[in-house]
Structure 1
């Protein structure tokens, strides 16, 4: 309990057993994502050199995240170029070219994806990783 200054020690099991699809469905709600992304705008810069990658639960969730993040930056008062925030999944036109742009060009500097974890990506400028979905690995 933080308010009382108490420390509660818990041991976490190596694996947590629950239905991934059920968990992911709960995070694909507009109010939840709006709250998270509004807070996120305080920490990331859509015009800076630092890259951010956001992992969504589904392709439709990625679309929702892109839209809500752009809206959140506008509400925060930031001018955001349309290609600063981009979805990169297997469903977009020429995903490999989009990955190259993310890796080598200033924009996009915020990418929302579902499947780049499985394909692997090496972008040294990534400084922020956000998971809006369940991941199996405790390391991540």
Structure 2
């Protein structure tokens, strides 16, 4: 069975890159596209060993790059991404699909995921995306 990761994409982008100033929206969109490409490549290389679902707050945005079958991107529209991520944790538990790991710097979301039977891969502020990916692919949340 593959390991499933639900990544709080908006949180990860803001945590890793930080923002300020009038052009933050354009920079955030560029970094969103960048991490989407990174995670797609990780999933491609991992084959069936891992699955990643990347969640972003807000409306759909076009993102570049091909996506392998074990990689999904979801935009939450009007709902907070946290709610959708927790729904995935609950769904996986109730379906008997095993545990999943939530990747976020948001302590409230991480603790809620753990209380619902998931795991939490903690991301520190300023963490490099590459170090997060290494932790995911090494199998240690």
Fold shared, TM-score > 0.5 on shorter chain: no
TM-score range, shorter chain: 0.3 to 0.5
Q: Which has the larger radius of gyration?
A: 1
More strand by share: 2
More helix by share: 2
User: Structure 2 length normalisation: TM-score?
Assistant: 0.38
